[in-house]
Chains A and B, each alone.
Chain A
Amino acid sequence: MLDLWPQILFWILAVVTVVSSVAVVVAQNVVRAAVWLLFALAGTAGLFFLMGADFVGATQLLIYVGGTLVLVVFGVMLTARGPFVRMETHSAEWTLAAVVGLALFGLLAGSILAASWPEKGSLGPAELNATSSRTSLDLGLAFLGIPPQRAGGVETTAGHDPANIGYLLPFEIVSVHLLVVLIGAAYLARSKRRRARGV
């Protein structure tokens, strides 16, 4: 019974995520949509944990749920003036969007089901063990170009190749990117009146 907990948890989280996503679309009030988004993102983070990606899941919680969503909520609050909180959309548009969305879903689902996915073979899934989880270490090693040394893991390279610097460079680029974005956002968000006063 204990073995089934991950599956049960998975399905609970999957339902939460899907329902919240649909609620985001359906919600007319943008504040509510934001709250539904919070649930959807949190559910996804839970799914990440279940799939052995504990570091990514933590990052999702920290950045997405804790950062981005707060930004969105701030945006909602700064722009939420009576008429804009609820902006009705024509039903014709709704219909059109629904048809197109369903068609897209049909396409994606068809593709997913039609594809023959590569099997992981005899490999077992990563253990869901927070204390002994090694994904943080694996990720860090991967950033440094050292492939994971998990038993039975598919080794693309034997040992450490000095020329293989891994994901360190992209990581640094992303860091700088974030910095640039923060500065740019701060610049864009500056109020003109304040700037005029400053000058």
Chain B
Amino acid sequence: MQHPVASLPTILLIAAIMFVCGAVCMATKRNAVGILIGAELVLNASNLNFVAFAYLTPFGIDGQVFALFGIVLPAAEAAIALAIILNFYNNHMTVDVDRATELKD
């Protein structure tokens, strides 16, 4: 019988730190790629939560399945986001999201 490597709240706190870092990253980076990086951090934090739940709660392996989706879907999201960023860059010669306000009106 092995002890768990850490208690559940510990892992969740680590994930919370990552989550907050991702959110702050999205809020502060003006570079579009920077925002994408922030989003990856947020999603990664949620994956960490899922795996922790699978590890330390009686819900079985379901958490890991969710984590798999949580990996695959951001990959797709990243591909789309980069494509959008590249197009935006091609059209405006910039990646500053503060300049991307066409949809405002």
Establish whether A and B are touching in the complex (CB under 8 Å): yes
Q: Which chain B residues border A174 with CB–CB below 8 Å?
A: 69, 72-73
Count A-B pairs with CB separation below 8 Å.
Answer: 255
Q: Contact between B44 and A185 (Cβ–Cβ < 8 Å)?
A: no
Residues of chain B within 8 A (CB-CB) of A68 are 40, 74-75, 78
Q: B83 contacts which chain A residues (CB < 8 A)? A: 184-189
Interface pair A25/B60, CB less than 8 Å apart = no
Rounded to whole angstroms, the CA-CA distance of A156 and B58 in the bound complex is 11
Residues of chain B contacted by A192 (CB below 8 angstroms): 90
A34-B33 CB under 8 A given contacts A6-B5, A56-B71, A84-B95: yes
Within 8 A of B (CB), among A23-68: 24-25, 30, 33-34, 37, 40-41, 44, 47-48, 50-53, 55-56, 59-60, 63-64, 67-68
Q: Are B20 and A79 in contact (CB under 8 A)?
A: no
Is A100 at the interface (CB under 8 A from chain B)? yes
Q: B67–A53 contact, CB under 8 A? A: yes
The interface bits of chain B over 74-87 (1 if a CB of A lies within 8 angstroms of the residue's CB, else 0) are: 11111110111111
Known: A75-B85, A104-B20. A178 touches B14 (CB 8 A): no
Q: Do B51 and A56 touch (CB < 8 A)? A: yes
Are the CB atoms of B86 and A188 closer together than 8 Å? Answer: yes
Render A85-101 as a binary contact track against B, CB cut-off 8 A, 1 for contact. Answer: 00101000110111011
Q: Which residue of the partner chain, among A30, A47, A186, contacts B34 with CB atoms under 8 Å?
A: A30
Secondary structure type dominating chain B contacts: helix
Chain B min CB distance to A24 (Å): 6
Return chain A residues, CB-CB under 8 Å to B3: 3, 7, 125
Distance, CA A177 to CA B78, complexed state (A): 13
User: What residues of chain A lie closer than 8 Å to B33, measured between beta carbons?
Assistant: 30, 34, 72, 75-76, 79
Q: Quick check: B55 and A51 within 8 Å, CB to CB?
A: yes
Question: Assuming A37-B37, A47-B11, A188-B86, is B75 touching A63 (CB within 8 A)?
Answer: yes
| Chain A 170-196 interface 0/1 with B at a Cβ cutoff of 8 Å (1 = within) | 100010011001101111110110000
A-B contact pairs, 9 of them (CB 8 A): A6-B2, A7-B3, A18-B14, A18-B17, A60-B71, A68-B40, A87-B31, A101-B21, A117-B9
- What are the 7 A-B residue pairs with the smallest beta carbon separation, nearest first? A188-B83, A181-B76, A21-B21, A185-B79, A101-B24, A51-B55, A108-B16
